[in-house]
Amino acid sequence: MKAVTWHGKRDVRVETVPDPKIEHPTDAIVRITTTGICGSDLHLYEVLGPFMGEGDILGHEPMGIVEEVGHEVTEIRPGQRVVIPFNISCGTCFMCTQGLHSQCETTQVREQGMGAALFGYTKLYGQVPGGQAEYLRVPFGNTLPIVVPEGPADERFVYLSDVLPTAWQAVEYAALPPGGSIVVLGLGPIGDMSTRIAQHRGAGRVIGVDLVPERLARARRRGVETLDLREHENDLAEVIREMTEGRGPDAVIDAVGMEAHGSPGIKMAQQMTGVLPQSVAATLMQKAGVDRLHGLYSAIDIVRRGGTISVIGVYGGMVDPLPMLTIFDKQLQIRMGQANVKRWVGDILPLLTDGDPLGVEGFATHKLPLSKAPEAYEMFQKKTDGAIKVLLKP
């Protein structure tokens, strides 16, 4: 089959690799019909190379048609249409029954001290072949795949794999009071969808911050108040306080993470990981802390006293300093974590089958064949041609 494989910093290729096979009686083989490129895939493209292996198959946002199932699979059958969550969860362990599927005890990558395994995402998360491919082996065929209806286009459902549950959890963790105000830092796919979900769930005021004109314009078209970071880099918190009765918003979602604008010294440290020996670079990433925390610092400054910060952007370092005195003095709550995809499907799926209140149709800015994946990655990373969300079609 054809698959998107990793070969180094900014070097992804479409290659012929062996077809996946049933390995366990609860496995399923899914023929992929649509798969997304995620913002966190760009971390592999740029700074997380030390945790990758040459030829690793990328991608964790797939959906498709069940082709084959193991003899113990009874909940899905060949021919059914399914979405595959990005985190690999058994659905039956203690953590899964608590709704913490990203902490699944069956697939935790204990040798790395990490949570549940992920499709297509580094040695830290199990180095499991990903879904930017023509076929995918899916474990836990009875509990992991999400069966979706026939009829509507893939674009109606593919975001159940990551974007929708991740943004839903971001808003849930923000604990926004009815009619409250919320600021979303970063209007990439997750931040953009977070503004839509906040609006849908009754936010009185939604303010989005970014520095990419296409992202700002897209949010404005859906009624989001926007601030261009290029114009407010030094007074962002003051401007937002002026917009929110002098106290700041009830909640802030940090949808930026380690790719935050600013922190030039840390940007250089991130770039160093691409030229250091793998073992040294991996230690630097894990132990030294090479995150650009500008987004999180901004959230701490912006949110009102007694407010909530929801961190959904990915951070990778371990010893980055936090302004603990400010967090304590402002009596802030901070919630974060990898999205528990299966936890939120029941809340989201009805919104995809009855109208389209979140605007998932048309959410993708680009749809390209799998063969164009290298160009798609470059376009997405450089934010050229208005690229905000890219879907690949195997």
Return all residues near 368 (Cβ < 8 A) that are at least 6 apart.
375, 376, 390, 391, 392, 393
Residues 43, 9: Cα–Cα separation, whole Å = 10
Residues 71, 154: Cα–Cα separation, whole Å = 28
Burial of 186 (0-12, 13-18, 19+ CB in 10 A): buried
Q: Tell whether 320 and 173 lie within a shared domain.
A: yes
Q: Tell whether 168 and 114 lie within a shared domain.
A: no
Q: Tell whether 175 and 48 lie within a shared domain.
A: no
Q: Tell whether 92 and 129 lie within a shared domain.
A: yes
What are 174-217's pLDDT values in tens digits?
999 999 999 999 999 999 999 999 999 999 999 999 999 999 99
Of 336, 354, 381, the domain-final residue = 336
Segment-wise mean pLDDT, segments of 10 residues, the chain, 394 residues: 96 98 98 96 82 95 98 98 98 98 97 95 94 98 97 96 98 97 97 98 97 97 97 94 97 82 45 50 50 82 98 73 90 96 97 93 97 97 94 98
**DSSP states along 242-286:** HHTTTT--SEEEE--GGG-S--HHHHHHHHHTTTS-HHHHHHIII
Of 290, 312, 336, the domain-final residue = 336
Q: Tell whether 306 and 384 lie within a shared domain.
A: no
The H or E element containing residue 287 is none
Q: Tell whether 32 and 111 lie within a shared domain.
A: yes
Residue-range definition of the domain harbouring residue 86: 2-162+340-393
DSSP state of 256: -
Q: Tell whether 221 and 287 lie within a shared domain.
A: yes
CATH of the domain at 153: 3.90.180.10
Of 336, 353, 375, the domain-final residue = 336
Q: Tell whether 149 and 172 lie within a shared domain.
A: no
pTM of the shown model: 0.91
Structurally, the chain folds into a number of domains equal to: 2
The H or E element containing residue 268 is helix 264-272
